[in-house]
Amino acid sequence: MSGDTAFLDGGGEMAAAIRGYEWGATPLGPIGAWPVALKTAVGMMVNSRFPKCIVWGPELITIHNDAFRSILGDKPPALGRPFNEVWSEVWDEIAPIAAKALAGEATFIENFPLTINRYGHPEEAWFTFCYSPIRDESGRVLGMIDTVMETTGQMQAERNSRLLNTELAHRMKNTMAMIAAIASQTFRSAETLQQAQSVLSERIATLGEAHSLLTQSSWSSAPIQAVVEGALNPHRSGLGTLRVAGPPLQLPADQAMTLALAVNELATNAVKYGSLSVEAGEVAIGWTTGRPNSDDTFRFHWVESGGPRVTKPDRQGFGSRLVERVMAQTFHGEVELDYRPEGLRYVLATTMAHIAPRE
Amino acid sequence: MSGLKPRVLIVEDEPIIAMMLEEHLLDAGCEVAGTAQNLEKGLVLAGATEMDLAILDMILGSQPSFPVADILAARGIPFMFASGFGSNSLPEEHRGQLVLHKPFHYPDLVRSLRLALGSRFTLEASV
């Protein structure tokens, strides 16, 4: 008996399964009586580590190796069953390729997309495969062998990188449009060209800093502490004291960039006219949070004290509109900007539900 | 019509860009009929605001502004899209619309305003 199936030696679990299968009940007949061409082909196949499958005779009886099981997934056992039944969901697409092989012509196809069902649901998968005819000594085609590599992972990775590329191109455009808008408004409200230049480069540097933080998280969010510190850093002049305190919180991209720009404006103003222009001045910067996605309040404050007496500026520039209108809109909340004589007080309040990516 | 200022609605989700548009429109001799920051408000303003023209950011958050365009088209109000993408991302029914390519500059805006408003208004803006 084992002499009959010695051609399966070394063929792993599927060789054992083939050995034990009741072939007498199939069109192939008892295994000992198989044609030499079939035995040789099956022997080579079960000893290959490439996923392979032999399809034999007019009934397309399937015999596969161990490696082919990953292609089949949780499909019912394919051994001994017609190939067109095993792959019934894609048979319309692969039948012509199989017919070609059985007519004596091999086909090689790369990254062929098929919607298969092997885990109880339709699934998009890609395969690089070759269907080759198997001939007997006289040259008659008796079956074919399918050698296949699944390329689904690779194709999905390529698709993801194309998507990511499109997304980055989109963000780049947005950033350009935003910088153009900031530049336009900076020049418009500046008093001198020199002032416009220095204010604009500070604003762009602030955006750049926020960008770096966002890049670390693939642009999804940035920690508020780092956003605030990043925008404050260039203004740590030495005069006055900055205190920053608040619980950890992730800010979505547009809110992170807007908060960075607003903090830069507040700090610029404080260094020039406010608490950071004198030794005894102090700025308390902080925020309070609540449960995520709830009606709990999120509040950000910037409170100055110990600086020169404050008066309300008579002209509203781009900086104050950034701090008021842009912040209120981006956080879907309310802003209070109070020019108290003892020090500027700025508060942004919104709900935690609004600390979320823009839909 | 001379002496009358064209009233322009802005639908733009990025407040910094909306503010620039407002300034540019005022500089160009227009009035701002309203500013909508999202699709919801855009739909309301498009249906209820008296205006001569609208500028629509093509994507608001992640939603296209085409429903706003549909309302304007039904009211016979001219509009243009502002977009970082080309005009081939426009659906069939808006294929012929004017597209202001982002990032745009004041002269681009004035040129597009003149095209969109046609002979109904004379803009005093200098380019």
Burial class (CB in 10 A: 0-12, 13-18, 19+), A220: exposed
How is residue B15 written in tokens?
């407040």
Given pLDDT bands bounded at 50, 70 and 90, which one contains residue A359?
A: very low
Residues 6+ apart with CB under 8 A from A83: A53, A55, A60, A61, A62, A98
Positive or negative, the Cα torsion across A210, A215, A220, A226? negative
CATH 3.40.50.2300, applies to B7-117: yes
Pick one of 1.20.910.10, 3.30.565.10, 1.10.10.350, 3.40.50.300 as the CATH number of A155-354.
3.30.565.10
pLDDT at B117 over 50: yes
Q: Is B70 helix (H, G, I), strand (E, B) or coil?
A: helix
Query: In whole angstroms, what is the distance from residue A260 CA to residue A274 CA?
Result: 19
Q: pLDDT digit string (tens) for A339-352?
A: 999 999 999 999 99
Q: pLDDT digit string (tens) for A211-246?
A: 999 988 877 899 999 999 999 999 987 799 999 999
Set of chain B residues whose Cβ sits within 8 Å of the Cβ of A177: 14, 17, 84, 102-104
Residue with tokens 């079939």: A38
The answer to whether the Cβ–Cβ distance between B62 and A179 falls below 8 Å is: no
Q: pLDDT digit string (tens) for A24-82?
A: 999 999 999 999 999 999 999 999 999 999 999 999 999 999 999 999 999 999 999 99
Across the range A288-311, mean pLDDT stands at 95
| Closest-CA distance of chain A to residue B11, Å | 14
Q: Which A residues in the span 288-327 are in contact with B, Cβ-Cβ below 8 Å?
A: 318, 321-322, 325-326
**Confidence (pLDDT) at B118:** 84
Q: pLDDT digit string (tens) for B34-49?
A: 999 999 999 999 999 9
Query: In whole angstroms, what is the distance from residue B69 CA to residue B9 CA?
Result: 12
How is residue A297 written in tokens?
């309040």
Set of chain B residues whose Cβ sits within 8 Å of the Cβ of A178: 14, 16-17
Beta bridge partners of B7: B31
**Confidence (pLDDT) at B89:** 75
**Amino acid at site A218:** S
Q: Is A44 on the interface with B (CB under 8 A)?
A: no
Query: In whole angstroms, what is the distance from residue A187 CA to residue A167 CA?
Result: 30
Q: Where are the alpha helices (DSSP H) in chain B?
A: 15-27, 39-48, 66-75, 106-117
Mean confidence (pLDDT) of chain A: 93
**Confidence (pLDDT) at A356:** 78
pLDDT at B94 over 60: yes
The β-bridge relationship of strands A241-245 and A221-223 is unpaired
Contact A113, A157 (CB under 8 A): no
Using alpha carbons, select from B86, B119, B89, B90 the residue that is nearest to residue B100.
B86
Mean confidence (pLDDT) of chain B: 89
**With left for phi above 0 and alpha for psi between -120 and 50, is residue B118 left, alpha or beta?**
left
Set of chain A residues whose Cβ sits within 8 Å of the Cβ of B14: 174, 177-178, 181, 254
| Closest-CA distance of chain A to residue B20, Å | 6
**Amino acid at site A53:** C
Query: In whole angstroms, what is the distance from residue A144 CA to residue A131 CA?
Result: 6
Set of chain A residues whose Cβ sits within 8 Å of the Cβ of B20: 180-181, 184-185
Domain covering A6-150: architecture: 2-Layer Sandwich (3.30)
Which residues of chain A are in CATH 3.30.565.10 domains?
A: 155-354
Query: In whole angstroms, what is the distance from residue A173 CA to residue A12 CA?
Result: 56
How is residue A50 written in tokens?
């490439």
Q: Which of B14, B23, B85 sits opposite A188 (nearest CB)?
A: B23
Residues 6+ apart with CB under 8 A from A192: none
Q: Which residue has the higher pLDDT, B125 or A141?
A: A141
How is residue A198 written in tokens?
């220095």
Set of chain B residues whose Cβ sits within 8 Å of the Cβ of A179: 103
pLDDT at A209 over 80: yes
Which residues of chain A are in CATH 3.30.450.20 domains?
A: 6-150
Q: pLDDT digit string (tens) for A3-29?
A: 689 999 999 999 999 999 999 999 999
